[in-house]
Structure formats: structure tokens, C-alpha cells
Structure 1
Amino acid sequence: MIKLFNGLSAFRPVQFTASLFLILFLTANGSLANEKVILALGDSLTAGFGLAEEESFPAQLEKALVGKGQKVRVINGGLSGDTTTGGLSRLDWLLSENPDLIIIELGANDGLRALSPDLTRQNLDQLILRSKATGATVLLTGMKALPNLGRDYVQQFDAIFPALAEKHGVHFYPFFLDGVAADPTLNQQDGIHPTGEGIAIIVDRILPFVEEALTDTGAEG
């Protein structure tokens, strides 16, 4: 009797602990499995130049999506000063995060430096192809060249983004800075980088496009 009692008293706590651990493990795993990972790949507009981390585009986007009941984690893949060439060189390292959705916000610095539209097109083409090859859904955001670069350049540059979105059948948001560009009250003193309030407007306008793209995660590739 004593031996049996001792055996049970020694076994039950261990069995209970193991069962509890298993339940917690499976619960945590299920939660992680349901979480969507979004990679925001971009330049200073994504990185949050001149802003606190919580004011950046990735942080505000994640907050907005979570507030609408989405289980998401948004990775800040922005790098100030980056061009489409730089973004392409960083892509493989960022893909190690296994994103479900990749938002490509690149090209602004190509335009500011008046780089060849052909180079920008080639780089974005490869960014989309390599992103889709992982099975991730892609949301391409458009950018517009400054008028002082000349009519021909502006037309060639601006046409890159919708053409590539159509070619590859990816989600498309026409202009990342829609509602914010050229508004001094929504931009920092340089007139280029949005304030936290400006980013909030960007997030509010792009949010439906991101939500639509999230419904396709796992379907593209």
C-alpha cells in the first residue's frame, strides 16, 4: 500500500506537469501558426526617418491591423537612402523571416537620383519575381517622379509600377504618399519625409489594400 501510494504521489505531479506543458506548447504553436508575417521592404519612408519607432510605417500598420483583429507581425525592412538596387541586394537576408506578405516600397530614391527607369524596372521586376518564388503574396506600392526631372522621365518612371503589377498579377497600391505628398503640415522640414501624422494617413489609406492582400497569403507563388 505504501509503495503504491508513493508511486502515485510521485507520478501524478510529473504527469500533470507534462500534460500542462504539452497544452501550453500546442496553444502557443497554434497561435504562432495563425500569425501572418508581413515584410515591409522599403527606403526611409518605410524605415521611419526622423520618427520614433512607434511612429514608423511598419509599427503603425501593425497596430492598425491588430486593432482590426488581425494576428500579424510587421517587420521593418526599411533602410534610409536605399534604392531598388540596394533593396534587391538585401532581399535574400530579409526573406529568412519567411514572410506571408511582402510590401515593396522602393523607387523613390531612384527617382530622386534620376537613375535610369530601365534599371529601376529591372530591379523591381526581380524583387517581385524572387518574392513570389517564396510563395509570399506581394503588394507593390507606386511612386511618382518629381516634375523637375522632365516630362519624358516622369512618364517613363511613373509607368513602371502599374505595368509591373499587371505583368506579375500582384496587388498594387498606386501611390505610397497619396494624401501626404507636398502637404507641409504632414511632412518634416525637408518636405520629403512624412511626420507621424502623415504616416497615419498613409496607413489609413493603404490599409484596405493590405487587408485584401492578406486574404491571398498562401495562394500566390
Structure 2
Amino acid sequence: MANTPERSFTRRAALAGLVLLPAAPALAQGKPRIVTVLGDSITAGLGLPRNLALPSVLEAELNRMGKGVRVRGAGVSGDTSAAGLARVDFSVQSDTNVCVVAFGGNDLLQGIDPKKTSANIDRIVGKLKARGIKVVLAGMAPPPALGRSYARDFAAIFPTLAKKHGAALYPNLLAGVGGIPRLNQRDGIHPTAEGVRIIVRGLAPVVARTLG
């Protein structure tokens, strides 16, 4: 999730892709509902082909559940919560029904004050709600090595904001995947295709309930 030159290129390409991706055809049952996944390199699928990245796998699972959706990936490698706040208005298109907000990993890596992260995500969720978009807030569990007080304050961000905004909460995006070598790529941070499938198995029911 670090912002290397290579990932800076990925960031530019991803931002361009948000605009240039062709519109998806409607599903057989009619016009699909739109789920947008707003986040960083984990949601962008860094290191994976598009069809194995989180947005594509989530779309397939939700449609298997009969939800009739298209899932748009709006993840940009290297993004912190501040970067997400700066682009939420144009990265999440107006026809979005549900937005999965998944920031925090890069804030953790950079040791950003949890109060700043909380304020950024608070504003992201507030902006989406003001536009009539439902939110699933995906949390991030901090490793204990960061220090007990920092970890405690960071972990509290997500349930606190979900309660404040009445948003659905998925407490830990990397539940069942984080820290397990075989489920992560060589960097130990980004999930493998198998790791993504595990993430989606936990996340999809929360998104499905939010869709209604």
C-alpha cells in the first residue's frame, strides 16, 4: 500500500480508469444496481488480474446471491483516507446505490494520527450520505506492534463512525486473511486471489443486506 513510483503510476492509471471504463451492459433482469468500492490498493486489486480483484469477485458473489448489481472499483494504490476524501465526489458516481468505504491501511503504515483518519472518513461518509448513497464501512485492524493506545484509538474509528452515521459495518476488511502468508502476496500486505475470495465471503452478505 506504500506510494512507490510504480504505484504512483498505478494511481494515475486507476484515476484515468475511473473515467474511461466503458459502461457495463444491463443484466438480464433489468438495469443493475451499482455498488462502488472506494479504497486503496487492496480494493484496487494490486498484483492481481482484474477478474480476480475484489470488485470483480464481489460482483460475481452478489449476483450469485441474486442481487443484480454492477460493482465499480474506485480503489487507488497508495491512497490514505485524506486522498480518498479529496476524490470521493468524482470517484463515486451519482448512480451509486451502495458505496463500500475501505480506507485505513496506508494511514496505519504512515502512522497517521487516528483523529485525522477518523475526521477524514467521517467526512467521506457524510458526503456520501448527503447524496443519498448507502454506505458499508470496512474497518482495518491495527497490528499490536503499533502500540496499545494507538491500536485502541485506531480500532475505535470504524464502529464509532458506523454508529454515528447509521452505516453498515464490516469490522475488519482483512479478517481471515491478514497475517496468513499463503493468503497474501510476497509483500505480506496484499491478498492473493484466494485471499480475495475469503474477504468477499465475509463482505458480500453485509453489502447484500445494505442493498436490501
> Can you list the C-alpha shifts for 1:181-201, whole angstroms capped at 9, x where unaligned?
111010001111100000000
Asked if 1:67 is matched to 2:64, the reply is yes
- Root-mean-square deviation (CA, aligned residues, Å) is 1.7
Asked if 1:152 is matched to 2:149, the reply is yes
Contact kept, 8 Å, 1:140 with 1:171, in 2: the verdict is yes
Relative distance call for 1:32 and 1:80 in structure 2 (3 A) is farther
Asked if 1:104 is matched to 2:101, the reply is yes
Q: Which residue of structure 2 lines up, in the alignment, with residue 120 of structure 1?
A: 117
Q: Which residue of structure 2 lines up, in the alignment, with residue 76 of structure 1?
A: 73
Contact kept, 8 Å, 1:112 with 1:145, in 2: the verdict is no
Contact kept, 8 Å, 2:74 with 2:92, in 1: the verdict is no
Q: Which residue of structure 2 lines up, in the alignment, with residue 134 of structure 1?
A: 131
Higher CA-based Rg:
1
Secondary structure at 1:96 match in 2: coil
Relative distance call for 1:35 and 1:118 in structure 2 (3 A) is same
Answer with 123-132 or 66-75: which moved more. Answer: 66-75
Q: Which residue of structure 2 lines up, in the alignment, with residue 191 of structure 1?
A: 188
How far apart are 1:96 and its partner, in Å?
2.9
Instruction: Name whichever structure is richer in helix by fraction.
Output: 1
Contact kept, 8 Å, 2:137 with 2:168, in 1: the verdict is yes
Aligned pair partner of 2:201 in 201, 204, 208: 204
Relative distance call for 1:208 and 1:115 in structure 2 (3 A) is same
- TM-score by length of structure 2 reads 0.85
Asked if 1:177 is matched to 2:174, the reply is yes
Structure 2 gaps of 5+ residues are 1-24
Q: Which residue of structure 1 lines up, in the alignment, with residue 17 of structure 2?
A: none
Q: Which residue of structure 2 lines up, in the alignment, with residue 45 of structure 1?
A: 42
- TM-score by length of structure 1 reads 0.81
Answer with 32-41 or 111-120: which moved more. Answer: 32-41
Q: Which residue of structure 1 lines up, in the alignment, with residue 159 of structure 2?
A: 162
Q: Provide the C-alpha distance between the structure 2 equivalents of 1:51 and 1:30, rounded to a whole number of angstroms.
A: 25
How far apart are 1:30 and its partner, in Å?
10
| Counterpart AA for 2:74 | G
| Counterpart AA for 1:182 | G
| Counterpart AA for 1:78 | G
Q: Provide the C-alpha distance between the structure 1 equivalents of 2:206 and 2:108, rounded to a whole number of angstroms.
A: 24
- Percent identity among equivalent residues? 42
Q: Which residue of structure 2 lines up, in the alignment, with residue 25 of structure 1?
A: none
Contact kept, 8 Å, 2:85 with 2:124, in 1: the verdict is yes
